[in-house]
Amino acid sequence: MKHDKQVEILSELMRQIDAKTNIDAGVRYRMPTASYCDRDIAAREREVLFRDYPQLIGLSGDLAEPGAYFTLADFGVPILSVRGQDGRFRAFLNACRHRGVRVAGEERGVAARFSCPFHAWTYSNQGELTAIPQEAQFGSIDKQCHGLIGLPAEERDGLLWVHPNRDGVLDLDAQLGALGEEIALGRYGDLVYAGESVLDKRLNWKLANDTFGETWHFQKLHAKTLGRLFYGDNLAYETFGRNHRFVFASRMIDQLRDRPKTEWRLKQAANLLYYLFPNVQFNVGLGGNVSLIRIYPHPEDPGRSITRVGHYFTRETMALMEQADANFDVVTPETVYERDPERPRVASLSAAKELFISTIEQEDYLMGESTQRSVESGLLPEILFGRNEPALHHFHRTFADVLQIAGPQRVE
């Protein structure tokens, strides 16, 4: 992000903190709860949001070397995502051209070739069919025409995108708009992949997404956890088409007050959260470390969702974490939350991941699961989004617009 924008955002957050105010959208919305439990809406979401639009599936660090690959099937299409020997990122339908069996069965690894478990047709990591056992008995076929089926895929500025439709148009300029330039400045391609956490929970995928939609619950729900690190009740917010940028202050922001603005850096003092349509929360935490949160609807149950959180760290943070592992026998989320800003304690890798995931799972998603039960009763036809919750307005107006369904209704 450009430095003058960082200063503008940090100044706005300080202004809100000093004035004891929060962002004000000037409008509230009534939100129909059918959106969280209606089976027809859920089917339409899977067909449209997850089949007609580009999907962000990881960062360059997921494929750190030639031959590195990972598989996924989160939006109904089995995908093999791989960096070829030539260094290029490609995405294929993870399906053998003989009888359609998955050619890569592991979640991730490094492989020069993929051999189908059924009859051992073999493909290069660039998708070419290279070997058919007993080819003379099978009958000769043109191998050139029977490589893995490619999907539109692009690695741009450290982000890995795929279109789930073979004939889909992967137009990232249209998808990201002006946010694309800002993301390019983030150097996300330099981050190191450090594992993934998966949460399979009893809440609609949009309710899971909504938990990333405002900061005024920090001093209530997260009083003993996140609330120690972040003020809450402040938000610098901007939309970019269907996406948004959502920034809130860390308590470290106060350390900037006596320093010249030329020295201000967002990553020292605030948490940056991009929402990338349709289902990604791209969290850039203190120090520039990233949690890539991808939230998927369950294929059969609108009341269930799967959240995948990819953990990515800067090389500096990885080095510090190795020291932390050596210096502290036990680094728990509690010890990190109680850290003294003058003597910051660095979490070990496992504690840092646990910290992030446990807050989501044991605090935010518990609220969402509770809402899910209420809306499934059929007795709560709508809920409310306040003036201090503009991200919730934007998510749901966007979904309603794309799906052409009833969305939130404005209340003056």
φ and ψ at residue 216, rounded to 5 degrees: -80, 0
Q: Under the criterion CB under 6 A, does residue 3 sit at the interface with ligand FES? A: no
Nearer to Fe ion, 364 or 389 (CB): 364
CB of 104 to ligand FES, least distance (A): 12
Nearer to ligand FES, 125 or 305 (CB): 125
Interaction partner, residue 138 (ligand FES, Fe ion, none; CB < 5-8 Å by kind): none
Nearer to Fe ion, 89 or 395 (CB): 395
CB of 187 to Fe ion, least distance (A): 27
Interaction partner, residue 118 (Fe ion, ligand FES, none; CB < 5-8 Å by kind): ligand FES
Nearest CA to 104 out of 148, 59, 143, 160 is that of 148
Nearer to ligand FES, 76 or 105 (CB): 105
Helix, strand, or coil (residue 395): helix
Residue 412 CB-half CA count within 13 A: 0
Q: Under the criterion CB under 6 A, does residue 121 sit at the interface with ligand FES? A: yes
HEC assignment per residue over 226-271? HHHHECCCCCEEEEECCEEEEEEEEHHHHHHCCCCHHHCCHHHHEE
Among 5, 51, 113, 119, which residue sits at the site for ligand FES (rule: CB under 6 A)?
119
Among 5, 44, 51, 98, which residue sits at the site for ligand FES (rule: CB under 6 A)?
98
Count of other CB atoms within 10 angstroms of residue 172: 16
Whose structure tokens read 């939609």? 213
CA distance to 49, 204, 352, 380, per residue, from 403 (Å): 8, 16, 37, 22
Residue 242 CB-half CA count within 13 A: 20
Amino acid type, 117: P
Among 41, 59, 96, 286, which residue sits at the site for ligand FES (rule: CB under 6 A)?
96
Nearer to ligand FES, 104 or 295 (CB): 104
Of 83-91, 98-106, 189-197, 353-361, the segment contacting ligand FES by CB under 6 A is: 98-106
Q: Under the criterion CB under 6 A, does residue 141 sit at the interface with ligand FES? A: no
Whether the CB-CB separation of 170 and 154 falls below 8 Å is answered with: yes
Q: Under the criterion CB under 6 A, does residue 25 sit at the interface with ligand FES? A: no
Q: Under the criterion CB under 6 A, does residue 131 sit at the interface with ligand FES? A: no
Whether the CB-CB separation of 81 and 72 falls below 8 Å is answered with: yes
Nearer to ligand FES, 144 or 262 (CB): 144
List residues binding ligand FES (CB under 6 A).
96, 98-99, 101, 116, 118-121
